[in-house]
Structures are given as C-alpha cells and as structure tokens.
Structure 1
C-alpha cells in the first residue's frame, strides 16, 4: 500500500556516529551531503523481504524469506504469492533469498533464485532457475542448477546468496561459510565461503581461475569470504564489487579479481563474537586481498547496488549499502574502483536488507521486518 507519510528516521552525516533519533513530519525534507529527499512508503505487508528485481514493465519482484515470491505493481500493490517457487529451508537465516532476471528475460521469461535448500546431510546454498508462464501468473520448470556443497547438518546461518550477471555475461553467485566451520571458506574443494562464476545452466564458466587444479572446484572465482550478501557491477569500470559481514567488526567491501583469496578466517579487521582473535589475529597478510573499505565497529551490510539514475545527480556512480545493525543506508562515493567518501543516511531506525535503483531513477529499500516494507527515496524538489 502506497502512502506519502514519512518514517520516523534519523540522518547521520559523514562517517562518524549518528546522533539521537529525531522524528520528522510528513512534509519534512531530509538533507544529505549531495541530495535532499523524502522517504515514501511504497509497499507494505511483506514478511522479511530479502531480494528484488525490476521487471521490464516496471513492476518489482520481491522474495520473502519464508519462501514466497510477490509481484509489486507500479503503484506498490502487492500480489498474492506467485505459485511454483522452489522449496526452501526457512530456518535461521535460510529461506528464499535472492532473485535475478536472465539478461534476455524479455524473450525467455527466465528467473534465477538463490535459496537455502535441503540436501542429503543437511542444508546448503542452492542456485535454481524457473520460467514465468506467458501470463506472468506462475512459475514453471523449476530446476536446481547448482548445490554449493557439501551440505551441513549443523547451523542455519551464513548462506551468502546474491546473484549478479557480469558484463561478461556470466552468472556470479556468492556463498557463505555456513558459520560453524569457518575453514570451509579456505578449502578450494568446498563451495562454501566463495564467489562462483557460472554459465547460465550452472556449469563452471570458461576461463575460471581454478579449472584443472587438483582438489579445487572449477566453479570458484574468489574465496576466503565469510557471509557475502552483496554483489554489484560497478557501471564505471565493469568490475565486480562484493559486500560481506564480519563478526564483531571486520565488515568489508571488496573488489573481486579472479583467483583472489579474501582472507577469512585467516585474517580479519574484526574479532570473533566472543572477543577472541580471528585466525592469526592479524588484519592482513601477504597474498591476501585487501578490502576497499572495512568497518569496526560493524555496520552489518547486506545488499548493495550502484546508483546511475538522473533523479539524484549528486549520487550518480555512488555505491549504496543496506545496513542491518546499526540500521541504515551507507553511501560510498567512488572514483573508479576506489572508495573516497562515506555518508550514513537514515541511521538507527529500521533494518535494511537490500537497496536497488528503479527504472524511474529513484532508490528503493527493502526493510528486514516481520511486517516488511519497500521504501522509496524521492527528490525533495
């Protein structure tokens, strides 16, 4: 349901700690460093919305973590659940997570899902595909394309689960380390804690860095990741940017290069949840890729996307991250693939799970709530 009322929110300027929360009226303008905007409640009534993708006609696909897919109209109206979605393990952090359109969706109606799936031995990160019926009323022909095994019986955390298509036409998929055995992220024969580069049918993509290496899975593109819940292509450079949770601090934004080791759990800028050092206790080491940006204390970043629209000229080319705890929106100013500035917006209000630009040039945010919403940032003028 759409409305013009603003949320009670806080604007935090710069990279420092935000001040006390202050409610704003329905007409109040939020002023940031490079834009002034209002927050509009675009859609409501979603349960833990996690991933989203705009259809060619401007409608929005949204996943709900318990295992439902909805279509949001251009007016914010929420459809009934779309029949035919893949089965999921909706426990802990698992469920129906990301959704992405095939590059040729307009002709194939093909969509991709990342989810927590059941398999022999427990649960794992799964990539699946399906095709919308001609009337867009249901999904047909659901196929499992890849299981990021081995499956794990213990724990229902750290599935990763973002999908993006690169400029090379390949499908990139992030997988989490599954939490209970951190070392999985360093094992090249294990698909947990990785970013995978795949053909559209789930096969290893041609030219992958570990093809032919004994004991290594050919799908692996980068490794040493903890829980990467953000993947985006930099429109200025074509580079792949990854966003991942640390533990107590050590959240990262990374530039991905084929074959790179991003360090988890050998090194980290944070500490473990019990306060103990991670791995060697060092923040960096030779042969391990340095993050473009890291945070301690944590900002708990989930989804991230670049803004390239016209509604906010001052934000063009910036990378936006949806933050869960403390909650808010992190705006990173980019020069090529370098982070040169940071601003925190809408801080300490509601957990944000994903942020994405719309075809209308506006910015949309999914809130991580039992009564989840889609918020839209609109220019104040």
Structure 2
C-alpha cells in the first residue's frame, strides 16, 4: 500500500512538472499573447473636433435652394419650385407652399424687391422649338397667393431705393434704361438715373451686371464698357445751384412701368425707336477701373454710403478682385491671404462689416481691421468627411444669411445659415 501511494505521488509530481515545462516551452515559441483586434472604424464616427461657428443652420433641404436678399429680409425657394419662405430682418423664417401661377417648365433665377409687400421673381423659360428662351418677370400678389406675370421677356436689375421705391435698371436693349417699378408714376422722377454719363464712349457701350441703391438716393451700377473694361457708375444728385442747367437731348432712360405689357418692352424698344427726347434724371459718373484685367466677371456690388461702394469680381472664374469706390476714385483692396475657391458673393452689414463668400469659405472684415475666416457650423452635423460649398450671402443690420451645401459620407443637404439660431429649423423634403 505504501509503495502504491508513493508511486501515485511521483506520478502526479511528474505530470505537474511536465505541464509546467510544456507551458514554458509554448511561451517561448509564441511570445506574448496578442492584444485583441481593434474594432473597425464606425460608419457614423464623428469627424475630428470642428471649430465653433457663429453661424447656425436655419433651413435644410434635399433640393438646391434659390436664395436672395431683398430690402428688409430674405426670400428662399427650393429649385423644384414647390416650397417658398421669407423672413423679415430680425424675424423667423415663415415657410409655405410656392405661390401659384408659375410656368410648368423653367427655373427661378432669383428674387428682388422688399418685404413684406413687394416681392418680384425673375424667371427663365427654356427654348421651345424655334422660340428662344425667355425671361418673364413676376410680382407676388399676396392677397391672391399667386404670382402675376408682369413682363413677357425682361430681366432687369431691381433694388429698393429712396422714398420706398423699387428701382429697375437694364441695358439689354443696348442702352441704359431706368424705371421706378413701385409706386407707379405717370412721369419719370427728376432723380431717376439717366443714360447720360460723363464718359461718352462708356455711355454708348455700357452693360450693367449689378446695381446697389441707397435710401438717400444715390445709385451705383457695376458692369463693362467697350473692350470689356470693368466700370462702376455712380449717380448722385448734384448740390443745388442758383441756375438750372438746360435740358439735354439724348436717348430716353425709359419711363416708369405702366402695365405688364409695357414693363418689359422697353428693353426691346419702348416705342421711341431711338428718337431724341428730353432726357430726365441725373447724369452718371463712370469710374473705369484702370488696372482691372479685361473681361472680369462681375460677382457682387454693395453700397455702404453715398461715396462708398464695394465691388467683387472674378478673373477666369477663380481669382478674386475687390474694388472700393471712394468719392470719385476706385482703388483695389486687399483680400484674405488664405482665400480659396471661386468668389461668389459680398455682403455689407450696417456696422460696416463686409462678408465675403467663396465656393470654399466665409470671411468677414470689420473696418478697418483684417480679414477673419469664419468657420461654418460643421458641429451641427457630426458625420465623417464633411465638406462645404458656399453660394450666396446677404447682410443687413446685424443679420447675416449664407446659402450653402453640406456633404459627408452619410448625407448631402442644402442649407441656409444665419448669424443667429432659429427656434425651429425649417426642413424641406
């Protein structure tokens, strides 16, 4: 019995020793146990921490947006022409279905006028057969909830002006025409911008591409004269003089619109057939930008005061140029050192702050300071690989709006940004 117990004990000892030796040999052969594999990156992982933004998303849409700043607020619609929204300066967005009576085919080019009672819509109807594309002009009749066709084929530049008026200017007929769209008047007003310029050659070849007007009455226009020379024109009522100047005979600057049928006709000829008539209105001063490259593409024009206007232009679609009108001179202004993307828009707040938008970024400049980059609200969409594209901007008082597109690996949406948040984000399907 004792011999059997010793044999069992020896056997257990040997087995334990063999197990220990075996484990030791295995450890030497394989090394330390590997760490568990790291989990695969999540498809919904948030991007690296984005900088905070003073801007907030106030409208979100699957379809592209048509956005315009107007007097006293903003107007926005979806590109599919199903939805429509307005906001007074300082107020919230009010969204509804698109007012009726727009054509079945075509696209909205933009809005103009002033809120709440004077909203105009510029439209483009596609070519059909032998008929070329047309640009009908509409005015919103809020009481009927519908657009009223005001002109069959006319694409003027519209801006809120002095004394509560809406000013229209265009050169599509080959000569400058100016009209007071609202309120209606039987005769051209004495302060209407005239086709007369202090530069005769420019007066004959002027093509305007943007206008800006001030409540004090001054009007600015940017565009081109002969040989694609970039020009800014200023109309300002001269100081009263004891002796009135004699009337000047020239091609008419156009009478105020009197009906939907004659509103657009002036740009194809308003019945004067080029006949000399007594020129009404104020002569303009042409400020040719001497050092501007030929063929600049106009992008935006804002007026900050009677002798202070800013114009943004693009060279080759990408390189930006910024010019400032100071009295009777124009000078080139510095742009942000880190500017990137095609220049898109320029807006001016009432405190003098300029907001500059390119396809890839947003900048602001408070006078007389330096340009400062403004980050978009990337934190609002914690999604992988975020990117932004900016389209347009508008500013008034302390309100700033920017239309943009946000895209990521997860989604793409068209958005309207604002310098303050909204009680409720408007979401369009």
Normalization by structure 1: what TM-score?
0.51
Q: What is the CA–CA distance in structure 1 between the aligned matches of 2:153 and 2:160, rounded to whole Å? A: 16
Please state which structure has a larger fraction of its residues in helix.
2
Q: What is the CA–CA distance in structure 1 between the aligned matches of 2:162 and 2:82, rounded to whole Å? A: 29
Q: What is the CA–CA distance in structure 2 between the aligned matches of 1:261 and 1:121, rounded to whole Å? A: 38
1:200 — aligned with what? 181
1:116 — aligned with what? 124
List aligned pairs for 1:84-123, cutoff 5 A. 84-85=101-102, 89=106, 95-102=107-114, 105=116, 109-117=117-125, 122-123=132-133
Matched, 1:190 2:174: yes
2:425 — aligned with what? none
Shift of 1:112: 0.9
Aligned residues: 271
Q: What is the CA–CA distance in structure 2 between the aligned matches of 1:85 and 1:133, rounded to whole Å? A: 16
1:328 — aligned with what? 361
Shift of 1:42: 1.0
Using a 3 Å threshold, how does the CA distance of structure 1 residues 111 and 43 change in structure 2: closer, same or farther? same
2:373 — aligned with what? 344
Matched, 1:50 2:92: no
List aligned pairs for 1:16-35, cutoff 5 A. 24=49, 29-30=52-53
1:378 — aligned with what? 420
Q: What is the CA–CA distance in structure 2 between the aligned matches of 1:341 and 1:238, rounded to whole Å? A: 30
Shift of 1:358: 7.0
SS of structure 1 residue aligned to 2:194? coil
Shift of 1:267: 5.7
1:209 — aligned with what? 194
Maintained 8 Å contact 1:130/1:141: yes
Q: Which runs of 5+ in 2 are unaligned?
A: 1-46, 236-283, 297-312, 377-385, 407-411, 422-429
Residue 150 of structure 2 is aligned with which of 143, 149, 153?
143
Q: What is the CA–CA distance in structure 2 between the aligned matches of 1:221 and 1:168, rounded to whole Å? A: 30
Residue 260 of structure 1 is aligned with which of 286, 295, 319?
286
SS of structure 1 residue aligned to 2:392? strand
Shift of 1:375: 1.4
Q: Which runs of 5+ in 1 are unaligned?
A: 1-21, 31-36, 90-94, 149-160, 176-186, 276-282, 309-315
SS of structure 1 residue aligned to 2:110? strand
2:35 — aligned with what? none
Maintained 8 Å contact 2:388/2:405: yes
Maintained 8 Å contact 1:255/1:291: no
1:164 — aligned with what? 159
Encode CA deviations 1:22-46: one digit per residue, 9 max, x unaligned.
9545xx534xxxxxx2x32211115
Maintained 8 Å contact 2:168/2:181: no
Matched, 1:365 2:402: yes
CA RMSD of aligned residues (A): 5.3
2:9 — aligned with what? none
Q: What is the CA–CA distance in structure 2 between the aligned matches of 1:292 and 1:169, rounded to whole Å? A: 33
Using a 3 Å threshold, how does the CA distance of structure 1 residues 50 and 44 change in structure 2: closer, same or farther? same
Matched, 1:223 2:206: yes
Shift of 1:49: 1.7
Encode CA deviations 1:120-179: one digit per residue, 9 max, x unaligned.
852355543231126xxx22433227614xxxxxxxxxxxx763212365545577xxxx
Using a 3 Å threshold, how does the CA distance of structure 1 residues 146 and 291 change in structure 2: closer, same or farther? farther
Using a 3 Å threshold, how does the CA distance of structure 1 residues 243 and 342 change in structure 2: closer, same or farther? farther
SS of structure 1 residue aligned to 2:101? coil
Using a 3 Å threshold, how does the CA distance of structure 1 residues 122 and 375 change in structure 2: closer, same or farther? same
Maintained 8 Å contact 1:367/1:374: yes
Residue 132 of structure 1 is aligned with which of 123, 133, 142?
142
List aligned pairs for 1:72-91, cutoff 5 A. 78-85=95-102, 89=106
Shift of 1:64: 3.3
Q: What is the CA–CA distance in structure 1 between the aligned matches of 2:390 and 2:167, rounded to whole Å? A: 23
